[in-house]
Amino acid sequence: MLPCVRAPMSRAFSTTRACAKHIPLQSAVLMSRAPVVLQEPSALEREYYRFNTELSHRIQQPFPRDHYFKKGSAAESRFEDYYAKLQKSWDGDELLKSGANASSTSEASGSDSDMFTTMPRTTEADAQHDTRSLERALDRTLYLLVRNTKADTKGLPWHLPTKNVPHPITSTVSLHSVGMEAVRDALGSMMDTWLVSKLPIAVIPHGVHDAKTYVVKAHILAGEPVPVEGVDYAWLTREEIAQRLSEEGSANAKTYREIVLDLLDA
């Protein structure tokens, strides 16, 4: 709400006060889930790491085998087998395969080898394209979008969790608190979230009566959304959000899409 301003004096010692119009404000939350695993390296990154690994092995001092392994022991034999394969290939995938073969020929039990089993990078949620699951796209940042599915408002586009700032504004009302209320009102309170900052990271103009939407940023740390009736939600990557926030529509929708996409990580 804009403050009341003093109008120009019409005559000496006489003033009138004109109160400015109320500007509708909204608060939205950009809720994200950080990546769980590292992204797959590109071809350039693989070659860079391979070259540096080979270079470091070639210039290092010879490994003192006699100091660490007893002559003719099983440990020395396993090391010699591993080191011979290491000299043949510096590819990380080959090293993993050779390590698996070495462990299969060792005297270690199956229960011990299971302790070092690598979890797959793709999950069942990826296979089913379950956009409601947080166990998908583990190497990407996911962002929360919601949609109203009620019969009388069916077809509303996807958007960030948003709530109108109450009017008049009191000392207990803030943009970040209203934004987090929007998340709780739509998706319950079963999520453990962390507000990055109380200051907004972006302002989205509506173009109608100078209305604005202030965006604050938050992360989900644990828990799952429990949507209320008539609310749908999805955890999406940047590319998926670009598809959900269609370019078709009014100028306000296009502005909303452009500003939101600028806030997302690649």
C-alpha to C-alpha distance for 137 and 144, rounded to whole angstroms: 14
The domain ranges of the chain are: 25-38+123-265, 43-105
The H-or-E segment that residue 32 falls in is: strand 25-33
Torsion of CA 190, 191, 195, 200, to 10 degrees: -90
Tell me how far CA of residue 238 lies from CA of 156, 167, 200, 246, 261, in angstroms: 20, 34, 20, 13, 7
C-alpha to C-alpha distance for 192 and 179, rounded to whole angstroms: 15
Threshold 0.75, pTM exceeds:
no
C-alpha to C-alpha distance for 266 and 237, rounded to whole angstroms: 9
Is the Cβ–Cβ distance between 196 and 219 less than 8 Å?
Answer: yes
Q: At 266, which amino acid appears? A: A
Q: Across the 266 residues of the chain, what is the mean pLDDT of every consecutive 10-residue run? A: 41 41 85 92 89 82 84 89 73 48 48 66 92 94 91 67 86 89 93 94 85 94 92 94 80 89 89
Segment 155-181, tens digit of pLDDT? 458 999 999 998 877 778 899 999 999
DSSP state of 152: G
Residue with tokens 């992204």: 39
Q: 25-38+123-265: CATH homologous superfamily? A: Nucleoside Triphosphate Pyrophosphohydrolase (3.90.79.10)
Please calculate the CA angle 55-56-60 and round it to the nearest 5 degrees: 120
Q: What number of other Cβ atoms are within 10 A of residue 214's Cβ? A: 20
DSSP strands (E only) in 100-259:
142-148, 162-164, 191-195, 202-205, 212-223, 231-236
C-alpha to C-alpha distance for 163 and 178, rounded to whole angstroms: 7
Whole-number pLDDT of residue 111: 53
Is the Cβ–Cβ distance between 216 and 198 less than 8 Å?
Answer: yes
Whole-number pLDDT of residue 144: 96
Q: Is 186 left (phi over 0), alpha (psi -120 to 50) or beta?
A: alpha
Residue with tokens 């350039």: 44
